Amino acid sequence: MSEINTALSVEDLSVVYRTQGVDIAALKDITFNVNDGEIFGIIGESGSGKSTLAKAILRNIKPPGFITGEPRIFCYGRNIISMSQREFREKILWQLISYVPQSSLNSLNGTMRIIDHFYDTATSHGISKEKIREKALELLKMVRLEPEKVAVMYPHQLSGGMRQRVLIALSLLLNPKLVIMDEAVSALDVATQKHILDIIKDLNKSMGITVIFITHDIAIAAYLTHTIMVLYAGEIMEIGKTERIIKSPYHPYSVSLMSSVPSIRGSLEGVRVVKEGYPSRVGCPFNTRCEYTSDICFKNHPELYEINSDYVRCFNYATNKPKGS
Ligand SMILES: Nc1ncnc2c1ncn2[C@@H]1O[C@H](COP(=O)(O)OP(=O)(O)OP(=O)(O)O)[C@@H](O)[C@H]1O
Ligand SMILES: [Mg+2]
């Protein structure tokens, strides 16, 4: 059972995608906590499992994907994985946890005006249009859109960046305590990015909203987050306070990510950040690309070792205590 100051606790979460009889393990035994009131960053290169993790928390893994084993996921003490889909949609989604999805075009209904998306979300939770209109316009204004004008427009009339901002506004409509944002600012220009990041910081500080922020961009993670979790090939490689991870990362993968970004300004997207290679199926998943391997890295799979309340999955730290022991 999670503690009171824990916004989210995820334990032993594994997800597999089965295509043409072949299983791809997209997430392997993911276990982590997000503290109430923090901005928790999830970073990792494309395919590392970031969106799959968001979808699993949001009860939105669809075939050919499925959850394996018996994970436990608690959000503010509520067991959100064992409740029915219906209960999750009626009582948890939007009100306790909301999200900003990665793809803004697929997430809005092309036949509905922008304001109708707000009405739809509100009325499906028993709140009247009249009650929500002012709040919707306020939120649109907050994300730097002209509220009255944008409200009556259709999604295709907006740029990708504008749609992304609509989704951020929409995610806040029912005052959630936790918002999961998947690449929420990636489609925006740098000035708007900065503005939105500052709004997120402000929401976090003044209203205490907890944020899980998924990004390719280390500079954004450095600017915004309190804690960072590094994913590689569906596994947690490192979890730690942002300041420490940026300054002195423990895992060789994190080290190469940080050193590949001159003065922490850059993106992982499309950047050859580390030595080329595919994740290994035997031993450490990073052994094909790591500069610091020894024999054990090719034979055994490393645990997540604890160092000063942070975690790293690397045999170079094997003298430390494995997590949970
Ligand atoms: N619907 C699907 N069917 C089959 N495989 C999938 C599906 N969705 C994701 N995967 C696989 O699961 C793994 C993790 O994908 P995921 O989209 O979670 O990564 P990501 O870290 O969000 O990547 P990106 O940074 O590109 O958004 C990848 O190997 C991907 O190919
Ligand atoms: Mg993704």
Instruction: Write down the residue that tokens 């427009």 correspond to.
Output: 153
Q: Are 251 and 230 in contact (CB under 8 A)?
A: yes
pLDDT 10s digit of each residue in the chain, 325 long? 444 599 999 999 999 999 998 999 999 999 999 999 999 999 998 899 999 999 999 999 999 999 999 999 999 999 999 999 999 999 999 999 999 988 777 789 999 999 999 999 999 998 999 889 999 999 999 988 999 999 999 999 998 889 989 999 999 999 999 999 999 888 788 888 888 899 899 889 988 999 999 998 888 999 999 999 999 999 999 999 999 999 899 999 998 888 766 544 455 554 445 667 789 999 999 999 998 899 999 999 999 999 989 999 999 998 877 776 6
Pocket test for ligand 1, best of 13, 42, 46, 230 (most atoms within 8 A of CB): 46
Measured from CB, residues less than 6 Å from any atom of ligand 1 are: 17, 19, 24, 26, 44, 46-52, 64-65, 102, 216
Q: How far is the CA of 47 from the centre of ligand 1 (A)?
A: 5
Q: How far is the CA of 256 from the centre of ligand 2 (A)?
A: 21
Helix (H, G, I), strand (E, B) or coil at 138: helix
Burial of residue 84 (CB within 10 Å: 0-12, 13-18, 19+) is exposed
pLDDT of residue 1: 45
By 3-state DSSP, what share of the chain in percent is helix, strand and coil, each rounded to 5?
35, 25, 40
What region does 309 belong to: left with phi over 0, alpha with psi -120 to 50, or beta? Answer: left
d(CA 146, CA 123) in angstroms, rounded, equals 23
The residue among 245, 244, 171, 265 whose CA lies nearest residue 212 is 171
Q: Among the atoms of ligand 1, which is closest to the Cα of residue 269?
A: 25
pLDDT of residue 262: 54
d(CA 100, CA 309) in angstroms, rounded, equals 30
Residue nearest to atom 6 of ligand 1 (CA): 17
Q: Are 194 and 93 in contact (CB under 8 A)?
A: no
pLDDT of residue 53: 98
pLDDT of residue 323: 76
Q: Say what the pTM is.
A: 0.93
